[in-house]
Amino acid sequence: MDEKFDCIIVGAGVAGLAAAMELARSDMKFLLIEKGEFAGSKNVSGGVLWGHDLDRLVPEYWKEEDGGWERFINHRRLTFMDGESAFSVDFKSSHFNEPPYSGVVVLRSKFDRWLAGKVEEAIADSAHPMDSFIATNIKVDEVLMEGGRATGIRTGEEEFHADSVIIAEGVNNLLTRQVGLQDDYVPADHMLTGIKEVIRFEQSVLEDRFQLNGRSGMSNEFLGYATNGVEGGGFLYTNRETVSVGLVLGLKDLREKEQKPYDILNHFKSHPAVADMLRGGEVVEYSAHVVSSGDKRVMPRKLYTGGLLVCGEAANLLLNAGKAIQGMDFAMRSGILAAETIVKAKEKDDYGEQAMSAYRSALDDSYVMKDINSFQDAVHMLHAPEMFSDVPNLVCDFGRSFFTIDNSPTRKSRKMMADAVREHSSWWDLFKLGIRGAKSL
Amino acid sequence: MKLLKLTEQLGLVSYRNQSKSEIKPHIEVDTSICNSVCPHKCTTYVCPANCYTMDEEGQVHFQVEDCIECGTCMYACDQGAVSWNYPDPEIGRGVTWNYG
């Protein structure tokens, strides 16, 4: 192929597909390259896609009977657990029943493939239906650089050329490292391993057990016993006929505590409250993937250079500040912003580093970097040891005394709390934690 | 519910091109580093697919066949023993998720 593209996108995940959609709508000639046999075939996520950007990408996506998403979320639950107990903060509201939904559960192998179909439709409707492509089963070996500027990619013996390259290769960002935007070795300090099972139920069992109605769904995060003392937390999300159950585990802590992720997953599944939720289910898939923590220290030192932009998790755009684990929404928005930068660059025929820096400014002005910046303290706090041991234990201890009725004189709850605090922490430590929490959230 | 053993969990994973004869491991591990200087040999327990094993003599061995391309070993190994890459779709084997 001699023809030069306006842009080559590496990776057909959420970020790459969002970028492709914007480029197709702007009548750009582009090539989207995916190493898997179809978009999404190599991708794993928890996974809830938050926010309204999906509606922007695929307007009124919810009207499609068999769209790529599983369920919308109208029920959120945060559970603190010790060995015997589970103490939940639970919020369900019909306020979240109306589209555009504030969160949808997705399974990537299905969702990304569906989204790729929408991009194909946009390509067909564009001014270059025969010149833009989604190409699968191709592994990009190298980003071609000339005089500090990306000029295309190489795969095996073959080269493809373009005015610009968008790297949306995911968290294991080998190309981002190769072009020098991140060090060759990224230490484990702010990385986590996600591990997950997809468990199938009869749909009526699933709907009854989780109080689902139509396409409504639940997201549940877990702190404490779930991770067996390792930094991180657990999750359970309802899909249409399955649930996604898993953990994210701090990689450095896993190494130091000499634990096996699959053993911790079984430990989590054995908890009485979780076992009750999973009873009768059949595991249909086991998966794992690295995920970044949302700590800014792990981000590439730059997200652009001449003719090149990095977006999605390749840029380590992810955030877990305790309210929700966000990443796919960041990927979607960053892909959109990257594409917009390329469209403007083409208008001015300037793909230089200065022109590309507009992407970083746009990202800084968006909710993505604003949230990552404002919730750094929360990220650090969530990864503090007391958050996955002392605090959940304390909450559950208090819960046990508060909800126990044994026909002897009942102590005031303030006394129960004092006992629970003495057992697992101190008022002073809690005071400090409270101040940190109030500041960080 | 029944808890699965890792071998049963990995039995649910779909791989492609398993039987190709020219298969080359996409991840290369210099186990001589694991077996000389490494103080923790952490890959033998952090890998979610147990691709790294330790024999009775405490020697680390690596086999790529069950790899699910998660990236854990690339970050966990701080001794420079792991050269990480994705499998080449043409020749290697690779994971294809049914759910993801």
Output DSSP code: residue B5.
P
Q: Check whether A21 has a pLDDT greater than 60.
A: yes
Distance CA(A280)–CA(A200), nearest Å, equals 9
Q: In this structure, are residues A155 and A140 in contact, taking their beta carbons and an 8 Å threshold?
A: yes
pLDDT value of position A387: 87
Q: Which of B1, B13, B45 to mutate to test the interface with A (most CBs of A within 10 A)?
A: B1
Which range, of A62-66, A138-142, A284-288, A304-308, averages the lowest pLDDT?
A62-66
Residue of B nearest to A112 (CA): B100
Confidence of residue A22 (pLDDT cuts 50, 70, 90): very high
Residue A266: Cβ within 10 Å count: 16
Q: Check whether A14 has a pLDDT greater than 70.
A: yes
Tell if the CB–CB gap between A260 and B72 is shorter than 8 Å: no
Residues 211-250, chain A: which have Cβ within 8 Å of B? Answer: 242, 244
Strand extents, DSSP E, A202-311: 216-224, 232-238, 242-250, 282-292, 304-305, 308-310
User: A266 in contact with B at a CB cutoff of 8 Å?
Assistant: yes
Residue A372 C-alpha, separation from nearest chain B C-alpha, in angstroms = 22
Residue A139: Cβ within 10 Å count: 20
Tell if the CB–CB gap between A188 and B76 is shorter than 8 Å: yes
Within 8 A of B78 by CB-CB distance, chain A residues are 185, 187-188
Confidence of residue A386 (pLDDT cuts 50, 70, 90): confident
Q: Region A290-300: what's the mean pLDDT?
A: 94
Residue of A nearest to B93 (CA): A36
Residue A176 C-alpha, separation from nearest chain B C-alpha, in angstroms = 13
User: A169 in contact with B at a CB cutoff of 8 Å?
Assistant: no
Q: In this structure, are residues A338 and A309 in contact, taking their beta carbons and an 8 Å threshold?
A: yes
Confidence of residue B19 (pLDDT cuts 50, 70, 90): low
Give the burial string for A269-296 (b: 16+ CB within 10 Å, else e). bebeebeebbeebebebbbbbbbbbbbe
pLDDT value of position A321: 83
pLDDT value of position A255: 97
| pLDDT 10s digits, A74-110 | 999 999 999 999 999 999 999 999 999 999 999 999 9
Within 8 A of A41 by CB-CB distance, chain B residues are 96-97, 100
pLDDT value of position A186: 95
Residue among B16, B70, B87 whose CB faces A290 most closely: B70
Length of chain A as a residue count: 441
Residue among B16, B71, B90 whose CB faces A289 most closely: B71
Contacts of B53 (CB under 8 A, 6+ apart): B44, B60, B61, B63
Q: Which of A172, A186, A198, A247 to mutate to test the interface with B (most CBs of B within 10 A)?
A: A172
Q: What does pLDDT average to over chain A?
A: 95
Q: Check whether B21 has a pLDDT greater than 60.
A: no
Q: Region B69-90: what's the mean pLDDT?
A: 95
| pLDDT 10s digits, A404-423 | 999 999 888 899 999 998 98
Tell if the CB–CB gap between B98 and A242 is shorter than 8 Å: no
Give the CA count within 13 Å in the CB-facing half-sphere of A351: 24
| pLDDT 10s digits, A258-269 | 999 999 999 999
Tell if the CB–CB gap between A283 and B9 is shorter than 8 Å: yes
Distance CA(A372)–CA(A184), nearest Å, equals 24
User: A55 in contact with B at a CB cutoff of 8 Å?
Assistant: no
ipTM of this predicted complex? 0.96
Tell if the CB–CB gap between B100 and A40 is shorter than 8 Å: yes
Q: What does pLDDT average to over chain B?
A: 92
User: A175 in contact with B at a CB cutoff of 8 Å?
Assistant: no
Tell if the CB–CB gap between B90 and A137 is shorter than 8 Å: yes
Output DSSP code: residue A157.
T
Residue among B40, B46, B98 whose CB faces A109 most closely: B98
Q: In this structure, are residues A291 and A191 in contact, taking their beta carbons and an 8 Å threshold?
A: yes
Nearest alpha-carbon partner for B61 in B43, B78, B87: B43
Residue A265 C-alpha, separation from nearest chain B C-alpha, in angstroms = 9
Distance CA(A265)–CA(B49), nearest Å, equals 13
Helices (runs of H) and strands (runs of E) counted in chain A? 15, 20
SS3 assignment, position A49: strand
Tokens 């409504």: give the residue.
A216
Q: Which of A42, A48, A111, A227 to mutate to test the interface with B (most CBs of B within 10 A)?
A: A42
pLDDT value of position A428: 86
User: B37 in contact with A at a CB cutoff of 8 Å?
Assistant: no
pLDDT value of position B18: 60
Distance CA(B7)–CA(A431), nearest Å, equals 46
Residue A263 C-alpha, separation from nearest chain B C-alpha, in angstroms = 9
pLDDT value of position A2: 56
Residue A382: Cβ within 10 Å count: 21
A to B CB pairs, distance under 8 Å: 147
